[in-house]
Amino acid sequence: MVVLLLFFSYFVTYKKQTKMRKIEHIGIAVSNLADASLIYEKLFGAPSYKQEEVASEGVKTAFFMNGPNKIELLEATNEESPIAKFIAKKGEGIHHIAFDVDDIVAEIARLKNEGFIVLNEAPKKGADNKLVAFLHPKSTNGVLIELCQEIR
């Protein structure tokens, strides 16, 4: 019985840990997307595989793959864009870390329940065919965390 309970609690814990899966990408705030794309193209030895504007977020993005790792460059398209505000405050640099989740609605509920400040009550459409939601850096040691779920 004890063994069964231990197994069950391990299984429940394990299931919990797998909800937030691998890092999906790292987002980098840049002042000029074209200039930055040339730099990252040189860095990886391969061009951006996708460029996309997300009007609702006020950003233009370019995605790069390097092996299994994905980098998202983000340039603000207006002064109200979170990227414009970030660069004004901190300069260019790492803006967020995105984690792949399989059920973003369940993850938002779980993380709210754990006391994290979730910036989006409901997921919204992000770049690269993803539903996204963000956690306030105040609740994650200064790092903006993005949750993203592939739109199937």
29, 36, 87, 98: residue in contact with Zn ion (rule CB under 5 A):
98
Structure tokens at 54: 């997300």
User: Which residue lies nearer to Zn ion by CB, 17 or 61?
Assistant: 61
Contact 78, 84 (CB under 8 A): yes
Starting at the edge strand found earlier in the chain, the sheet holding 124-125 runs 50-54, 59-66, 69-76, 20-29, 93-101, 144-150, 130-135, 124-125
Give the type of residue at 116.
F
Q: Which residues contact 88 (CB under 8 A, 6 or more apart)?
A: none
CB of 22 to Zn ion, least distance (A): 14
CB of 12 to Zn ion, least distance (A): 30
User: Which residue lies nearer to Zn ion by CB, 13 or 31?
Assistant: 31
User: Which residue lies nearer to Zn ion by CB, 27 or 58?
Assistant: 27
- Per-residue string for binding with Zn ion, 19-38, x by CB under 5 A? --------x-----------
CB of 11 to Zn ion, least distance (A): 31
Q: Which of residues 37-96 bind Zn ion (CB under 5 A)?
A: 72
H helix intervals, the chain: 2-17, 33-44, 82-90, 104-113
User: Which residue has the closest beta carbon to Zn ion?
Assistant: 27
User: Which residue lies nearer to Zn ion by CB, 1 or 95?
Assistant: 95
State how beta strands 69-76 and 20-29 pair: parallel
Binding site for Zn ion (CB under 5 A): 27, 72, 98, 146
